[in-house]
Structure 1
Amino acid sequence: MFAQATPAMQTIAAALIDGDHHTVDELTQTALEEGIEALEIMDDGLIAAMGIVGIKFRENFIFVPEVLACARAMKAGMAHVEPILSDSGIEPVGTVIMGTVKGDLHDIGKNLCIMMLRGAGFVVHDLGVDTSDDEFIEAFEEYEAPILGMSALLTTTMPNMGKTIDAFIDEDLREEVKIMVGGAPVTQTFADDMGADGYGKDALECVALAKQFLEEPDEEW
């Protein structure tokens, strides 16, 4: 993945994969001072590295603590890059709303998905945990995000995914948003029964699903 990247980008990527946020912070700042474009740093350094982190996590070479360290490193680099990209008018890949459903206070899986989505170039609005139907709808109307993700870790809170989807139907908003669901107890069958547009078993599938939604024909995102 790094074969065509410059040595500077390879160094940034390696530090991120190691979860070394201090080094990523310093190297990103140095690269910008040396005139390297912010977009190159994001694409060839940070995003490329986070993609490898996701693969290593999926293949069980690393685990949640290591991924969180890498996510922290990603955030350190993006803190330098994002303001420059915003000022230059570069558009994000897409916008996603994420939240853990009502009654559920678990967020590690959701946070991993958010970090991977941001690493892939998405703007993500995190609604946190214990998110009600109304909060999901209000966020959708505020941010006009075409994609919404819901997470649940408890079997007792899983039905709230369906209730949220029903709330979007009641407000005549269902056709305007793609809804994806995930979480340890969630399955493809459950997602289908709840009326979700997609299900991802891990953070990599979450990102792939979000990209798939954006690429679907005849959709005006």
Structure 2
Amino acid sequence: MHDIAYNLITGAHFEVDRLVQEALAEGYSANDVLDDGLISGMAIVGIKFRDNIIFVPEVLVAARAMKAGMVYLEPILSASGIEPVGTIVMGTVKGDLHDIGKNLCIMMLRGAGFIVHDLGVDTKPDEFIDAVMEHEAQILGMSALLTTTMPNMGRTIEAFEEYGLRDTVRIMVGGAPVRLEFADDMGADGYGENAMECVDMAKRFMGAGEAEEVEEEVESVPVAGSD
């Protein structure tokens, strides 16, 4: 599994494709390949991105490598009938077209067993409300990269309050300019600084525990695209 994680982090998607197939053929379960290979690799990618060790291009190639492995795992996991951890609606708020951080969170949430409905970018408050009601989501995640669009997080929360729906969903927020104090002031239930914290928070909301700690592994792993 270490080889799968290593190649994912370095963005070697053809190798991840081959190694995932080999692991399944050798009798490893889809859950083990997912947790010990793909998820552990993406967790380290998330930490490196948070700490500015790697940047957007490296995250994208790592994400491509994870998708290459998920092609083989998703049908197995779906057929196993395992109950999802929970249902989440995610979107970037109105006026904001940035989605790389959100997409990384979504990928890791899905890998952790959540059903995630992605509303994309430039999402209006009523679109968040409609999606939460339609999918009976327990959690709503909002992202913003621009300081000018951050207030739309608060406006969305106010819209849930106006419709009497605030107590039906846990709301978590994130994005480069967002801070814990801002999240508290707007009335969010939680704030995640990075994709790992996003997964941990969602698991806590659902009473499913926290993701494994991988900080100690980061320094020994190369960055995607390095020699």
Q: Does TM-score exceed 0.5, indicating one fold? A: yes
Q: Structure 1 pair 200/75, CA: closer, same or farther in 2 (3 Å)? A: same
**Would you say the 8 A contact 1:22–1:73 is kept in 2?**
yes
User: 2:184 & 2:87 partners in 1: Cα distance?
Assistant: 23
Quote how far apart the aligned CAs of 1:164 are. Answer: 0.9
SS in 1 for 2:206: helix
Q: Kindly provide the CA deviation profile for residues 1-40 of structure 1, in whole angstroms up to 9, marking residues without a partner as x.
A: xxxxxxxx22222211211111111221232233322112
User: 2:153 & 2:51 partners in 1: Cα distance?
Assistant: 28
Which residue number corresponds to residue 22 of structure 1?
14
Larger RCO, structure (CA 8 Å, separation 6 or more): 2
Which residue number corresponds to residue 92 of structure 1?
84
**Would you say the 8 A contact 2:46–2:194 is kept in 1?**
no
1:203 matched to 2:195? The reply is yes
Q: Kindly provide the CA deviation profile for residues 179-202 of structure 1, in whole angstroms up to 9, marking residues without a partner as x.
A: 011122222222112111111222
| Runs (5+) with no aligned partner, structure 1 | 1-8, 217-221
Residue type at the aligned position of 1:62: I
Which residue number corresponds to residue 79 of structure 1?
71
Which residue number corresponds to residue 104 of structure 2?
112
SS in 1 for 2:75: helix
Quote how far apart the aligned CAs of 1:61 are. Answer: 2.8
- The farther-off stretch of 91-100 and 113-122 is 113-122
Deviation >6 Å, runs of 4+: none
SS in 1 for 2:76: helix
| Runs (5+) with no aligned partner, structure 2 | 209-227
SS in 2 for 1:89: coil
1:13 matched to 2:2? The reply is no
Which residue number corresponds to residue 31 of structure 1?
23
Identity of aligned pairs, percent?
71
Which residue number corresponds to residue 5 of structure 1?
none
**Would you say the 8 A contact 1:54–1:116 is kept in 2?**
no
User: 2:78 & 2:108 partners in 1: Cα distance?
Assistant: 19
Residue type at the aligned position of 1:162: G
Residue type at the aligned position of 1:27: L
Quote how far apart the aligned CAs of 1:158 are. Answer: 1.4
Quote how far apart the aligned CAs of 1:212 are. Answer: 2.0
Q: Structure 1 pair 103/58, CA: closer, same or farther in 2 (3 Å)? A: closer
User: 2:181 & 2:24 partners in 1: Cα distance?
Assistant: 47
Residue type at the aligned position of 1:142: E
Residue type at the aligned position of 1:95: T
Q: Kindly provide the CA deviation profile for residues 154-178 of structure 1, in whole angstroms up to 9, marking residues without a partner as x.
A: 2222111111111111222111111
Q: How many residues align?
A: 209
Quote how far apart the aligned CAs of 1:80 are. Answer: 0.8
Residue type at the aligned position of 1:166: E
Q: Structure 1 pair 132/198, CA: closer, same or farther in 2 (3 Å)? A: same
TM-score if structure 1 supplies the norm length?
Answer: 0.86
- When the two chains are superposed, the root-mean-square deviation of aligned CA atoms in Å is 1.9
**Would you say the 8 A contact 1:58–1:204 is kept in 2?**
no
User: 1:170 & 1:40 partners in 2: Cα distance?
Assistant: 44
Partner of residue 214 from structure 1, selected from 186, 206, 213 = 206
User: 2:156 & 2:60 partners in 1: Cα distance?
Assistant: 28
SS in 2 for 1:90: coil
Quote how far apart the aligned CAs of 1:58 are. Answer: 3.0
Partner of residue 147 from structure 1, selected from 116, 139, 145 = 139
- The farther-off stretch of 144-153 and 25-34 is 25-34
Quote how far apart the aligned CAs of 1:118 are. Answer: 2.6
Quote how far apart the aligned CAs of 1:94 are. Answer: 2.5
